[in-house]
Amino acid sequence: MSSQSMTYTSQSAIHSLKSYWTLIKSLQTGLLLITGLAGYMSARCPVTHWTTLLAVAGSLFLAISGSTVLNMVYDRDIDLKMSRACQRPLPAGKVSAREALLLGLTLSVLGVGWAFVLSLLYGLVVFAGLFFDVVVYTIWLKRRTPYSILIGGLAGGMPALAGRTLAVGQIDAVGILLASAVLFWIPTHIMTFSIRYEQDYRSAGIPTFPSTYGVPTTRTIIALSSMAAGAAMITSAVLIGMSWGYLRLLVVLSLGLLGLAFGSLVRPSERLNLGLFKYASTYMLGSMLLIMAGGL
Amino acid sequence: MKKMSALDRILLLVTGVLAAYQIVVGIDGLSTLPTAAYTIAFGVLLVAGLLLIIFGFDVLDSPLVVIVAAIIPLSLSLGLVTQYLPTLTMLYAAFAFAGLTAIAVTRFAAPGRVGTIVLAVVHGIAGLIIFGLPILFSLQGRTPIGFALVGVGGALIGLGGLMLAFLKAGKPILSQNIILAALPGLLLLMMAAFVAGFAAPLR
């Protein structure tokens, strides 16, 4: 092979890898992965072994990435109609649907398979997360009803539940609360986004809360769900036995989220809405890191 | 309004991390009242730092900033009073509550001269306590000398508050750009002084 063709091949491989990286939505996948690791680490030693922790990270990363890619494959037609999504690798033609489908299926099978090897119950929860996300949320409900967000939230809570389930060997109250915290946080995360890109979702024919019930009602739901997310997170932290110091910090971060959510209700603005979206992501990351640190 | 640079964001992030550390570790082991007061002070600093990173310096235009900014010195000074002058706790708690209420009311009902006087009096008293009490107690040997750093932090927060107050009043001491460029570094220095100062009595 000539040096020129080798350079071309390596450039093409780098290009594909970049597109694959975009396909797995690295930031979203990373955040969900952290919730899974937090779920696992919320159970104190001796269940927290580094080898198992790495296996949890690997299996969840593969399963979450796989489901994200499969969602992208199914949603490529609506992504094409949305200005914020039309530059994604599939609608932009950088990756073919067949190639992405193969990638998504491979990642999903590897992730779920690895999860089943670790534990049957853990595997079932990881599989449930993938099934709810791809089949129930994306394929069945997303284009039919704005309430699909609930199933999306349920799927989002599964990594945290899975991690906790593997650590303690059963589905317990803390696992359900951690999953609930993510479930209630999802509306804050997604609805602020759907307010910002309401026109985009309209163009693609996706029913959202802002387009169905109006923006003021959506803001009320965001405020209430933020409150529920904070309550679930703090309750799970108390049940885990988090120290007072970490708990104080968690309460401070939760009050920040509530302040912004209710502020957005009282004095709504596009800027505050975007700020709430960003703070909500920071909140979830910070809270889950605290759950991890509290479990060490 | 000045655009926030990457360095500004890093400085604010480190300030936030220090505030988080102070909430988790720095005030552990104190009784309920000072713990609650310090948690409010450092909690507001932490969330305010995050909001500055998210929204940029534009957030300083909000009328709520004056009220939120008053919570920091009032709760910090309340913590110091409850910890080191416990006999004055009730009196100072009443002053802090009344002061904050007066600032909030005058912000909306009488934002002119009366509002400025109320703001200056409340901030002045709280600032003097944060600046003076740790230095005085350190000089008297009632606390380790390092505790005086809390006073240095108090002086820095006072300086920052003063610059912002004049800026918002339309009579800036320095240009807006210089004040906003200095603010993240000033906040970090202030927070570092607080962390080091509060750690001193523990040694």
Chain B: nearest CA to A272, how far in angstroms?
8
- Among B28, B47, B50, the residue with its CB nearest the CB of A245 is B28
Residue A63 binned pLDDT confidence (cut-offs 50, 70, 90): very high
Look over chain A and give the mean of its residue pLDDT values, rounded to a whole number.
92
ipTM: 0.91
Answer whether residue A164 is part of any domain. Answer: yes
* pLDDT tens profile B48-59: 999 999 999 988
C-beta atoms of A255 and B47 within 8 A: yes
For range B155-183, the mean pLDDT? 80
Tokens 């994604």 belong to A88
Q: What is the pLDDT of residue B159?
A: 83
Residue A82 binned pLDDT confidence (cut-offs 50, 70, 90): very high
H, E, C per residue of chain B: CCCCCHHHHHHHHHHHHHHHHHHHHHCCCCCHHHHHHHHHHHHHHHHHHHHHHHHCHHHHHCCHHHHHHHHHHHHHHHHHHHHHCHHHHHHHHHHHHHHHHHHHHHHHHCCCHHHHHHHHHHHHHHHHHHHHHHHHHHHCCCCCHHHHHHHHHHHHHHHHHHHHHHHHCCCCCCCHHHHHHHHHHHHHHHHHHHHHHHHHHHC
Residue of B nearest to A290 (CA): B24
Q: What is the pLDDT of residue A17?
A: 85
Chains A, B: CB contacts within 8 A come to: 42
- Asked whether the beta carbons of A38 and A163 are under 8 A apart, the reply is yes
* pLDDT tens profile B116-134: 788 888 988 999 999 999 9
Residue A115 binned pLDDT confidence (cut-offs 50, 70, 90): very high
Residue of A nearest to B64 (CA): A263
For range A195-208, the mean pLDDT? 91
C-beta atoms of B23 and A252 within 8 A: yes
Does the pLDDT of residue A8 top 70, yes or no?
A: no
* pLDDT tens profile B58-96: 888 887 788 888 899 999 999 999 999 999 999 999 999
For range A265-269, the mean pLDDT? 90
Instruction: Calculate the alpha carbon distances from A153 to A53, A75, B100 in Å.
Output: 24, 18, 40
Answer whether residue A269 is part of any domain. Answer: yes
Domain count, chain A: 1
A278 and B CB contact within 8 Å: yes
Chain A: nearest CA to B35, how far in angstroms?
10
What CATH number is attached to the domain comprising A61?
1.10.600
Which residues in chain A are closer than 8 Å to B61, comparing Cβ atoms?
A: none
Answer whether residue A14 is part of any domain. Answer: no
A255 and B CB contact within 8 Å: yes
Residue A19 binned pLDDT confidence (cut-offs 50, 70, 90): confident
Task: Retrieve residue B100's tokens.
Answer: 């904050």
C-beta atoms of A248 and B35 within 8 A: yes
Does the pLDDT of residue B1 top 80, yes or no?
A: no
Does the pLDDT of residue B202 top 60, yes or no?
A: no
Q: What is the pLDDT of residue A13?
A: 76
The domains of chain B are located at 6-202
Does the pLDDT of residue B189 top 70, yes or no?
A: yes
Does the pLDDT of residue A245 top 80, yes or no?
A: yes
Domain residue limits at A81? 23-295
Residue A293 binned pLDDT confidence (cut-offs 50, 70, 90): confident
B56 and A CB contact within 8 Å: no
Q: What is the pLDDT of residue B117?
A: 85
B96 and A CB contact within 8 Å: no
B37 CB neighbour count, 10 Å cutoff: 26
Tokens 């704005």 belong to A146
Residue B171 binned pLDDT confidence (cut-offs 50, 70, 90): low
Q: What is the pLDDT of residue A141?
A: 94
C-beta atoms of B39 and A252 within 8 A: yes
Most confident of A50-54, B21-25, B27-31: B21-25
Answer whether residue A197 is part of any domain. Answer: yes
Answer whether residue A1 is part of any domain. Answer: no
C-beta atoms of A275 and B51 within 8 A: yes
Cα distance between residue B57 and residue A294, in whole Å:
33
Q: What is the pLDDT of residue B177?
A: 86
C-beta atoms of A248 and B47 within 8 A: no
Residue A296 binned pLDDT confidence (cut-offs 50, 70, 90): low
Which residues in chain A are closer than 8 Å to B16, comparing Cβ atoms?
A: none
SS3 A271: helix
Query: Out of A1-15, A184-198, A203-217, which region has the weakest mean confidence (pLDDT)?
Result: A1-15
Those of residues 202-221 in A touching chain B at CB distance below 8 A are none
Does the pLDDT of residue A163 top 90, yes or no?
A: yes
